[in-house]
Amino acid sequence: MDIVNLKLPDYYINRELSALEFSRRVLHQAKDPSVPLLERLKFLCIVSANLDEFFEIRVSGLQQRAEIAGATGGAAGPDMLTASELLHEIGLRAHELVAEQYRLLNDELVPALAVEGIRFIAEDAWSRPQREWLHDYFHREIEPILSPVSLDSARPFPRILNKSLNFVVGLEGTHAFGRPVQRAIVQAPRSLPRLIRLSPELPDTGPADFVYLASVISAFVGELFVGMEIKGCYQFRATRNSDLYVDDEEVDDLLRALQGELIASRYGAAVRLEIAHDCPAELTSYLLEMFGLDAGDVYHVDGPVNLNRLMIIYDLAGRQGLRFPPFTASVPQEISDADNIFAAIRRKDILLHHPYESFAPVMDFISRSGQDPDVLSIKLTLYRTGHQSPIVDSLVAAAQAGKEVTVIVELRARFDEAENINLANRLQEAGAHVIYGVVGFKTHCKMALVVRREAGHLQRYVHLGTGNYHPGTARMYTDYGLLSADPALAEDVHQVFLQLTSLMRTPPLSRLHQSPFTLHREILDLIDQEVANVAAGGNGHIIAKLNALVEPEVIRALYRASGAGVVIDLVVRGLCCLRPGIPGVSDNIRVRSIVGRFLEHSRVYYFHANGAEKIYLSSADWMDRNFFRRVEICFSIEHEDLKARLLADLDTCLSDNCQAWELRPDGHYDLLQPEGSDAPLPAQAVLLRQLAADFSAAAGRPS
């Protein structure tokens, strides 16, 4: 038997190209006519937000690698694509994706919204009363805070804020001081709304008629340059490198260093230029030169340069018939029937599946801990919490009440750095002990530990989760949380908290596996054990539900397991670098991605273990960063009823034939459809019907 070289580049999908494929799957939701109209608009906005982050972080890093390595070097991943090759392929796919976004907006969504009375009125369609009203609005609300900059030798090209709305204006004539002027820049402050709702009191104007801010500025820009001839006014937006670099080893104060980096990142190197589709080539070339970009970095758009700003329509013009049907998340009976949440947790472990089940018990657990006179201490990790978090409020109240509150705040949670700096300061002012994680490692685990005095002894309670302590995302992301008073589990959590505060080694843990220490090795061992079980004549089956599968050694272990006859089912929402279906390598591996109403976010690992069935929940995806550069936890589920419930949920995901996309060997995904007499089975809708307290399927098919 030939030995297969599992390191061949052809066996790996590039992670950046996989990320663009995920955006394509999300865009399909925006194209799906069975999805409610405002939800389609929201999915379109999500694609834009994803692309922004992709360019700010991933493309910017590739451009740096390409500059350092040159055209022939820079291959970093197992697929062995160089940075230059990858940037070329990204450009082709991203341009295609953006063109499809604007086609969808202009040809389908805008007309469909107009039918529902939600209109975006272009300048050439303004009535005289509307134009007069907008002219007055321009002078009252816009012009007083604009600072137009004419460009000449004394006025160099201004600093342009990352992702801000700007206008390049073509001029002809001389300014007040007698010199000719050809160009000017107008920057739109972020305080200005990007959509302006017209007064419904105007003739032929509905209650949900909107005008783009860009249209208003373009229409009246001549009043900013009196005496000059306006040759044209064109909106543009520059995306900049926003990856923060702070060398933990070299700074004395991480908080201060991050604050400085946050300011600097607003003006990082430009990586993309979005500009109005009708902007003349001369002005486009000028902007590319000013930003140090090439022709391939420009994206001509027929519409607002930042589609994500249309998200406000979802709330401003929202009507329930144009959204997903509402539901009320349930609360497990074990909690609702108990005298208090501590009594419920003492009786048995409680598994919560958000958003189908409410996040309120988790918030109540923290809140009651802060109020209960018998609670002595609360420890918790915070990665993302959201603005005005009730959990942070509870921790502040607990600290002010004199309880021992320790919070591990990860300041380097990408794009939430400023928010986390603010909450860290607030917690410290209240008297909480605040730790900024570990040098060189992001603290990404989700865990809380409460110590309570009961009947003369100390009783510990824990909450462990796959998602953040963020009530907002708990309504939109699928995640699991476990509430437990199990002594062994609580002792492990206690030891991890001691490690995070003291930086000392932990003793061997019985219920947890932890990155960067044991988790990677444990996953490899569990995969290898399935191989050994098959070799001994048993059965082998692995199911993993993840956000991303990237780490090469785990992928090679899965390839070996597939070759040995282990059946492998992977539900990977986003990045997947493993190629399924390669003869002799990955025949027994199936990969699917579910994209629907909720963002799939939970991490669940299942191993058949010759019938002993091991199931784990975790904060970690199977990526290099999660295994080696983050503090993560993975915890076993021991109660048979909870294991059975998790396995049933996994089976539901694996049976989805409506919103599941199957990954093909060439790296593309196909949307699955019911075959023959098969009934449609959208996994998220099934779980809503099973778990939500109040959900009416008659209100419409949830996506």
Q: Give the residue numbers marked as catalytic.
A: 444
Q: How far, in whole angstroms, is CA 571 from its chain's centroid?
A: 17
CB 97 within 8 A of CB 47: yes
d(CA 576, CA 559): 14
CA–CA gap between residue 580 and residue 382 (Å, rounded): 36
Beta-bridge mates of residue 464: 447, 482
Other residues' Cβ atoms within 10 Å of the Cβ of residue 116 = 14
**Assigned token pair, 232:** 């044209």
- Interatomic CA distance for residues 283 and 302, integer angstroms: 17
Among 128, 37, 6, CA closest to 578: 6
17 contacts: CB under 8 Å, gap ≥ 6: 86, 89, 90, 93, 667
Alpha helices in 321-449 (DSSP H): 333-336, 341-347, 360-371, 390-400, 417-430
Q: What is the DSSP string of 102-132?
A: HHHIIIIIHHHHHHTT-EE--GGG--HHHHH
The pair of structure tokens assigned to 504 is 């000392």
Determine whether 31 is exposed, middle or buried from the number of CB atoms within 10 Å of its CB (0-12, 13-18, 19+): middle
Annotate 328-338 with b (16+ C-beta within 10 A) or e (fewer): ebbbbebbeeb
Report the sign of the C-alpha dihedral through residues 511, 515, 517, 519, in that order.
positive
Collapsed DSSP state (helix, strand, coil) of residue 308: helix
572 - beta bridge partners? 546
**Distance between CA 291 and CA 475 in Å, rounded?**
40
Determine the 3-state secondary structure of 169 from DSSP. strand
